[in-house]
Amino acid sequence: MEKIWGKLKELIYKDVSRESESNDLSVLLRELALVEILCLLFLAVLFAYLNTSFLCLCCVFTVGVMAAVLMLTFEDKTAAGMYVYIVINHILVAVACVETEWRLYFTPTIIVCIMLFFFNARVSMKTKVYYSVGEIIFLIGLLIAEYMLPLDTAIGPRASIGIIIINLCGQVVSASLEAYSYSLKYTRNEEKIIHYNKKLEDMVSTDALTTLWNRRAMNEHLSLLENGFRKHQKNFAVAIMDIDFFKKVNDTHGHGMGDYVLKSLAAILKETMDGKGSVARWGGEEFLLTFEGMRYDAAVDMIDQLRERIAQEEFAFKDVKLHLTITGGIEDYAMADSIDAVITKADERLYRGKTGGRNRIVSTD
């Protein structure tokens, strides 16, 4: 039984091969067609038991049409299958209501058809609205016809209950499948939107070359750190560092080497700052670092160790090998009164480091 169920699921969820066909619509239509085939078989047996041969033949004929609908979805003709499903259900509802009674719950099938029609993304909203208006006219016309025409088939109370149960079960299952499909489609669309928004956010906040934060993202982060200091006294330090004689690297070895140096240095900075703060490409060969959750002297020691590590690093690109140094300036936020002030002070100290011989970290005035 489990094997049969597995094969059936595989058949229902089989992908369509044409790009113009909607796989979601195909799967939903297959599920609806299978549910209706099952309900129609029960109704056919019940009508046969009641000796209502015409209605029994209508059910059997509709089973055949539903089988054709299934085949159309596997032949990449889902849209045609949908229209066949809708038309045959309208014919069946009209015949059943005129032959029996409105109260036997054949008409809610129209709601299932409306939901199916609206699920098709390739149909314009204007057409869907016209379709809904057409359904209202159809149901009103059907109601008038039922009252004007005499009943051809009298159904007893017990048989009526059986018909109502079968119809309600089929319609509730069909509506549930449609609701599930709508929910699945909505969830997937939401996930896509979240993914694309995240992608756009990354594009806006990330430096394309180094994959570090750019100035915009770091400014937002600095604002958060400033708020944290003001509310909870969470101190932090800001450092700006610059690659010494970077222009000479580009002029001598080309921009390929320069890009390699920036990416390699970014990887070192990202690894070093992980869990201890943040780093961003501030512009050109400048990087801005934040040291969070540590004392100022610990931050100074850490950036000086980072300077020593970079000085020992060999940057090898193609047949070129070279060593580089960095110069930096650092300031404690608690000693400044704003983000602009702490950045300005760190930048001034960087400049002093540059004019004082480079390859050094300046942490005091």
- The arrangement of strands across the sheet holding 236-243 comes to 277-283, 286-292, 236-243, 326-332, 361-362
Beta strands at 361-362 and 314-317: parallel, antiparallel or unpaired: unpaired
Helix 215-232 × helix 339-355 angle, to 10°: 120
Rounded CA gap, 31 and 42, in Å?
A: 17
Rounded CA gap, 15 and 76, in Å?
A: 9
Query: Is residue 354 within 8 Å of residue 347, measured between CB atoms?
Result: no
Tell me, yes or no, if 285 is annotated catalytic.
Answer: yes
Rounded CA gap, 273 and 8, in Å?
A: 54
Residue 251 burial by Cβ neighbours in a 10 Å radius (0-12, 13-18, 19+): exposed
Q: Give me the catalytic one of 178, 285, 292, 331.
A: 285
CA 316 → CA 253, 256, 258, 320, distances in Å? 11, 12, 11, 6
Query: Is residue 120 within 8 Å of residue 25, measured between CB atoms?
Result: yes
Rounded CA gap, 211 and 45, in Å?
A: 68
Catalytic (active-site) positions: 285
